Amino acid sequence: MEAKITDPIERMLAERACERIIVDFIHRLDLGEPGSVADLFTPDGVWHWPGGDRRIEGRMALRTYFASRPSDRLSRRLMTNLLVTVESATEARAVSYLTTYRVDGYTGGMIEPRLPVNVGHYEDTFRAVDGRWLLATRTVFLPFGTNTERIQPAQSR
């Protein structure tokens, strides 16, 4: 069994590193290059959505999956209630809540607000690899959800 982190500063740094990954994941999906979220995972990392029967394993598969998002998708996610628990010097877990606003067909400008398309939570596991914390698994649970609306070009200006 691996030793627990007993130093409060070391524990806080590990928690913060994992929280940063949670937030960076969302920023990359919404404002960056979606395929780059694969870099936040361990080489054998897994993204899983049991309710949607999707399981993506390995960095290359994750990169392909997230990079395949429609180029005209506008999304914004709100992340709250991040709770990271450090299990050891190399393992941690977290739960965080998400609310997703999303439309396809976006061509620019401001659109009228929509209701969220998803509300749920992530359950994550993390591993420290060569001194860097990474996602080992990310499982999404979506008890509230609907299909992504495709807007008409006139709605997006």
Provide the pLDDT confidence category of residue 28 given band limits of 50, 70 and 90: very high
pLDDT at 3 over 90: no
User: Does residue 1 belong to any structural domain of this protein?
Assistant: no
Instruction: State the SS3 of 12-36.
Output: HHHHHHHHHHHHHHHHHHHHCCHHH
3 in any annotated domain: no
Structure tokens at 125: 């596991």
Q: How many residues does the chain have?
A: 157
Q: Is 52 within the bounds of a domain?
A: yes
Residue 45 forms part of a structural domain:
yes
Q: Does residue 31 lie in a domain region?
A: yes
Based on the structure, what is the number of domains in the chain?
1
pLDDT digits (tens, 9 = 90+) for 45-77: 999 999 888 999 999 999 999 999 999 999 999
Residue 92: which CATH number? 3.10.450.50
- Rounded-to-integer distance, Cα 88 and Cα 2, Å: 6
Q: Which range marks the domain in which residue 71 is found?
A: 8-155
Residue 87 confidence (pLDDT) above 90: yes
**117 found inside a domain:** yes
Residue 123 falls within a domain, yes or no?
A: yes
